[in-house]
Amino acid sequence: MSMTAKSRKKILVTGGNSGIGFALCTQLVLEHGCHVFLGSRSRQRGEEAVASIRALIPAQHSGSVELTEVDVGEDASVLSAANAVREALGTDDQLYGLVNNAGIGLAASVAAEEVLNTNLYGVKRMCDAFVTEGLVSDRVVNVGSGSGPGYVHRCPQPTQRALCKTPADWKAIEAMIAISADGMTGLHSEADVNGAYGLSKAMLALYTMLFAEEMPNILSSCVSPGWIATKLVAGSGATKKPEEGTLSIRHCLFESLSGNGWYYGSDCVRSPLHFMRNPGEQAYDGVVDDVIGL
Ligand SMILES: NC(=O)c1ccc[n+]([C@@H]2O[C@H](COP(=O)([O-])OP(=O)(O)OC[C@H]3O[C@@H](n4cnc5c(N)ncnc54)[C@H](OP(=O)(O)O)[C@@H]3O)[C@@H](O)[C@H]2O)c1
């Protein structure tokens, strides 16, 4: 990817102060010459992250970074971030891309509602406030997880699996969440966090498909970053560095893609929504097969 071709693309990354998001912001600035709006819900953690990236930028380099305070779990915070970014861009400019990276829910014991509010509704909040409102010109990348297809595969609800074919609308996604919350999937059981996490990422992949239908002029993707050593999976044995978790995100930001709304594995290859396709395995052909009775 040539520096000239990518220079000065403006990209907002949520959860940019830590883990994969921080690695991505650093690479976008240093390797792609972008102007990055580093999203952080904590001003202090965000300022520290911005300062540490700025310290690495060589003189005369085209890349740059600024802080955007945004808690994706709060309507008011997202709206205020959208206003701040609009002001920073001025009247004639747009973000090239939005990366919805902020996520919670694997290692920490957080309530299921909070997991969904961040990982799914948080992305929708961002898309509504930034993309639907015309602040983004080209690409949206939603950071999903292999837990999404894993969840669908394990899910005992055929109606939920059937959604893999095509999400009818946002109400259908909400209905699926309501069914899950009724107790079928461990949302309120011991497997709470993984259940809610998997559900949130499965619904995020579906939402990405839906959003692509609604906004066909924006190329939207959902990706798995891989199993990456960050605070999200602390103690899980993950060994890959955060820098290695950005491949599929950058692929979907910058490369030509042959479909809109698709879900990609960490190796940048299209993956199914109903079972976990491991890196190196055959690409998904888009057909929902009868392995799980669809
Ligand atoms: N690591 C993996 O193996 C793995 C695998 C699959 C998917 N993912 C996905 O990758 C993404 C990044 O996670 P990570 O592994 O890099 O974990 P991480 O180091 O814990 O980073 C998560 C980031 O999200 C931010 N965040 C959480 N809730 C937020 C909110 N309400 N508003 C704004 N920011 C919020 C965190 O901010 P604070 O620092 O303030 O908490 C942090 O910056 C997540 O979507 C995760 O689900 C990771």
- Give Cα separations from 87 to 3, 80, 135 (angstroms): 26, 11, 11
| More confident call, 105 vs 204 | 204
What is the number of the ligand 1 atom nearest to the C-alpha of 42? 40
CB distance 238 to ligand 1 below 6 Å: yes
> DSSP E strands: which ranges in the chain?
10-13, 35-40, 64-69, 95-100, 136-143, 219-223, 263-264
User: Which of 134, 143, 126, 53 is closest to 95 using CA atoms?
Assistant: 134
Is ligand 1 within 6 A of the CB of residue 266?
no
Contact 203, 197 (CB under 8 A): no
At 183 the pLDDT is: 47
pTM given for the model: 0.94
Q: For residue 15, what pLDDT band results from cuts at 50, 70 and 90? A: very high
Q: What is the pLDDT of residues 35-64, one digit of tens each?
A: 999 999 999 999 999 999 999 999 999 999
Between the alpha carbon of residue 147 and those of residues 92, 197, 207, the distances in Å are 40, 7, 15
Q: Is the pLDDT of residue 132 over 50?
A: yes
Token duo for residue 293: 């009775």
pLDDT score of 152 more than 50: yes
The tokens for 103 are: 């996520």
Mean pLDDT confidence for 218-223: 98
Ligand 1 contact via 14 beta carbon (within 6 Å): yes
For the segment(s) 3-292, the CATH number from 3.40.50.300, 3.40.50.720, 3.30.565.10, 1.10.3210.10 is 3.40.50.720
Q: Max Cα separation, the chain?
A: 58
Q: What's the pLDDT band for 6 if we cut at 50, 70, 90?
A: very low
- Pocket probe for ligand 1: among 17, 18, 27, the residue whose CB has the most ligand atoms within 8 Å is 18
Domain ranges of the chain: 3-292
Give mean pLDDT, residues 171-188: 65
Average pLDDT, the chain: 88
In the predicted model, is pLDDT for residue 189 greater than 50? no
Amino acid at 155: C
Q: Summarize the confidence of residues 128-154 as an average pLDDT.
A: 93
Strand blocks (E) in 95-218: 95-100, 136-143
Q: What is the pLDDT of residue 22?
A: 98
With a 6 Å cutoff on the Cβ, whether 204 touches ligand 1 is no
**If we measure between CA atoms, which residue out of 14, 10, 27, 11 comes closest to residue 242?**
27
Q: Give the Cα separation of 53 and 66 in Å (integer).
A: 10
CA-based R_g, the chain, Å: 18
Tell me which of 77, 223, 224, 230 to substitute to probe ligand 1's pocket, judged by most ligand atoms within 8 Å of the beta carbon: 230
Tens digits of residue pLDDT in 68-100: 999 999 999 999 999 999 999 998 999 999 999
All residues at 6 or more sequence positions from 129 whose CB lies less than 8 Å from its CB, including other chains: 78, 79, 81, 82, 135
The number of angstroms, rounded, from the C-alpha of 266 to the middle of its chain's C-alpha atoms is 12
pLDDT confidence band for 163 (50 / 70 / 90): low
Give the distance (Å) from ligand 1 centre to CA of residue 103. 4
Q: Please tell me the number of Cα atoms within 13 Å of 71 on its side-chain side.
A: 10
Which is more confident, 275 or 23? Answer: 23
Minimum-distance ligand 1 atom for the alpha carbon of 242: 16
Split at pLDDT 50, 70, 90, the class of 153 is: confident
What's the average model confidence in pLDDT over 192-197?
A: 64
Q: Could you give phi then psi for residue 38, rounded to 5 degrees?
A: -85, 110
What integer pLDDT is reported at residue 88 of this predicted model? 97
Residue 168 in this model has a pLDDT that exceeds 90:
no
Pick from 209, 8, 230: nearest CA to 102: 230
Segment 244-256 mean pLDDT: 98
